[in-house]
Amino acid sequence: MTKSEGLLKKLNDYCPGAVPMHMPGHKRNVKLAPYLEQLGAAVDITEINGFDDLHDADGVIAEGMERAARLWGAERSFFCVNGSTGGILASVLAVLDDGDELVCARNCHKAVYNALELRRAKPHFLFPERETFSGTDCIVTAQAVGEMLDKHPSAKAVIITSPTYEGVISDVAAIADAAHARGAVLIVDEAHGAHLGFGWGFPDGAVKAGADIVVQSLHKTLPSLTQTAIVHVCGERVDSDKLACSLAVFETSSPSYLLMSSIDSCVRLLEENSDKLFAAWKRNISLFKEETSDLKHLRIMEKTDKMFGFDPSKLVISTRGTNINGRELMRRLREKYAIELEMAASEHVIAMTGMGDTEDNLQVLATAICEIDRYLENSDAPEPPVLIPPERACFSWEAAAGERESVDIYAAAGRVSAEYVWAYPPGIPLLIPGEVIGEDFEQLIESREQAGISMKSTFSALPQKIYVLKKP
């Protein structure tokens, strides 16, 4: 393998002089249409001589993936152009065989559920404990994982999300120990934590902690284009060749060189400049925290004793106890200050920071938050309802094969759901196909709709109706 200066440099050197009698059909003719130039078509190629093949890499792409493995400390790393979604699907299908049992934290992203359905897996759901600041059920402990595995000794794998959307980090090292001691492998959805482990006040990530597979979205927090992700294999418990085959199933056979260059360049940037970049990012966050330290009503999330760790890049702002909800705070920031947040829940919003943030961005946000806070009033609000673990009538893949009918949600209690129900973001299902709809379901949907959170379901029947399995 030859050492190159990176994929993007290679593309820039090669493309101007070569005659492309191959795909893509725009032929790098950026004069054809203005959009082609804006989209970077001048360096958009397919797998041609000298440019390696993502799915059988031994050249410039392999070199980039090795660099990524070295940087994070993994055994082997894979570039992924289908986001963490593709990485999760591939990882689950590589680790489990059809019908296998596993322990799955119930706050996992819907990609995990889709993977389980494809594998006809038998999940034992671990319902995380409540984190009270954000009112999200996201605390997963090693003890809870160990107990679940003791109850279900045939479970081959454990899947958790760390950090969560809100930035809550689990004790991955202890969870990995608990899983390994019982013969299970640990997959960590670290979609929100590609920036962890580089110091500067950002906690360590799951690769260092000893997880077996770690899936990271580069695009969520680092300077890389949307859809770019990396899957790391750590240690010897997972067959990385099998994972490579599985990734090829869930990714296009024509992976974008723009996206792969983005991953490669991002990894190089971190390798060369991480100290300076992380120091600046952390400084900007600290300035935001100082500027907002005197809020009277809104509150900004910090690590609590209940959390193992917290990612300071997430600015989770609570509206609890004020006269506005998360959706209203999001609206005010958008309409008056042109600030678009990542998401709004009933009683909090998430302002995501990323390495690309400037001091100005965070200053504008801090000023807006302080100004909004000044005009708020106190108001009592009930605690958000806790999700009562639904009873499972059958597995999701069994429900998918059943005959379904639509019913009004007020008449749905006791019926078996034929749909997933979730708010997106964060894409964590409240209900999955095959689960019995509880008495509390209508109220759960109504309380979220009232808070301006629109609930989605697989067949888009909500909020009026939901698809259930026909009675036998």
Ligand X SMILES: Cc1ncc(COP(=O)(O)O)c(C=O)c1O
Binding of ligand X by 84 (CB under 6 A): yes
Q: Does 83 bind ligand X (CB under 6 A)?
A: yes
Residue with Cβ nearer ligand X (229 or 437): 229
* Contact of 424 with 455, CB cutoff 8 Å: no
Cα distance between residue 276 and residue 280, in whole Å: 6
If DSSP codes are grouped into helix, strand and coil, which group holds residue 338?
Answer: coil
Which residue in the set 89, 94, 105, 191 belongs to the binding site for ligand X (CB under 6 A)? Answer: 191
In whole angstroms, how close is the CB of 82 to ligand X at the nearest point? 7
Query: If 0-12 CB within 10 Å is exposed, 13-18 middle and 19+ buried, where does residue 392 land?
Result: middle
Per-residue mark of binding to ligand X, 25-64 (x: CB under 6 A): ----------------------------------------
Token couple for 435: 């689960």
CB-based contact 250:86 (threshold 8 Å): yes
3-class DSSP state of 248: helix
The answer to the question of residue 309 lying near ligand X (CB under 6 A) is no
* Least gap, CB of 218 to ligand X (angstroms): 8
Report, in Å, the least distance between residue 311 CB and ligand X. 12
| Count, residues near ligand X per rule CB under 6 A | 15
Q: Which is nearer to ligand X, 429 or 438 (CB)?
A: 429
How far is Cα 322 from Cα 335, in angstroms, rounded to an integer? 20
* Structure tokens belonging to residue 27: 């032929």
Residue 136 near residue 282, CB atoms below 8 Å: no
Q: Which is nearer to ligand X, 36 or 330 (CB)?
A: 330
Q: CB of 343: closest distance to ligand X in angstroms?
A: 9
**Other CB atoms closer than 10 Å to residue 43's CB: what's the count?**
18
CB of 422 vs ligand X, minimal distance in Å: 11
Q: Which residues of 94-117 are buried (b: 16+ CB within 10 A; e: fewer)?
A: bbbeeebbbbbbbbbbbbbbbbbb
What is the spatial distance between Cα 353 and Cα 346, in angstroms, rounded to a whole number? 21
3-state secondary structure of 259: helix
CA distance 437 to 409: 9
Site for ligand X contains 437 (CB under 6 A) = no
3-state secondary structure of 266: helix
| Contacts to ligand X from residues 221-260, by CB under 6 A | 229
Name the token pair of 273.
């400049």
Contact range with ligand X by CB under 6 A, out of 255-263, 370-378, 420-428, 453-461: 420-428
Which residue lies nearer to ligand X by CB, 125 or 467?
125
Q: Give the residue nearest to ligand X (CB).
A: 83
Site string for ligand X, 100-139 (x = CB under 6 A): ---------x-x----------------------------
Q: Classify residue 59 by its DSSP letter.
A: S
3-state secondary structure of 88: helix
Contact partners, residue 292, CB within 8 Å, separation at least 6:
298, 300, 366, 369, 370
Q: Which of 44, 52, 71, 85 binds ligand X (CB under 6 A)?
A: 85
Taking the complex as a whole, how short is the minimal distance between the CB of residue 40 and ligand X, in angstroms? 20
Task: Choose the stretch contacting ligand X; rule: CB under 6 A; options: 173-181, 254-262, 419-427, 448-456.
Answer: 419-427
Q: Give dist(CA 48, CA 22) in Å, integer.
A: 8
Residue range at the interface with ligand X (CB under 6 A); choices 69-77, 78-86, 232-240, 305-313:
78-86
Among 78, 113, 165, 422, binds ligand X (CB under 6 A): 165
Positions 192 through 211 that interact with ligand X (CB under 6 A): 192
Among 137, 171, 189, 212, binds ligand X (CB under 6 A): 189
Nearer to ligand X, 83 or 210 (CB): 83
Binding pattern for the stretch 325-364 against ligand X, x by CB under 6 A and - elsewhere: ----------------------------------------
Burial of 50 (0-12, 13-18, 19+ CB in 10 A): exposed
Residue 7-26 contact track with ligand X, rule CB under 6 A, x = bound: --------------------
CB of 215 to ligand X, least distance (A): 7
What are the backbone angles phi and psi of residue 121, rounded to the nearest 5°? -80, 160
Strand stretches in 307-392, DSSP E: 309-310, 314-318, 343-344, 348-352
Cβ proximity to ligand X, 312 vs 426, nearer residue? 426
Q: Is 161 in the site for ligand X (CB under 6 A)?
A: yes
The secondary structure of residue 94, as a DSSP letter, is H
Q: Which residues bind ligand X (CB under 6 A)?
A: 83-85, 109, 111, 161, 165, 189, 191-192, 217, 229, 425-427
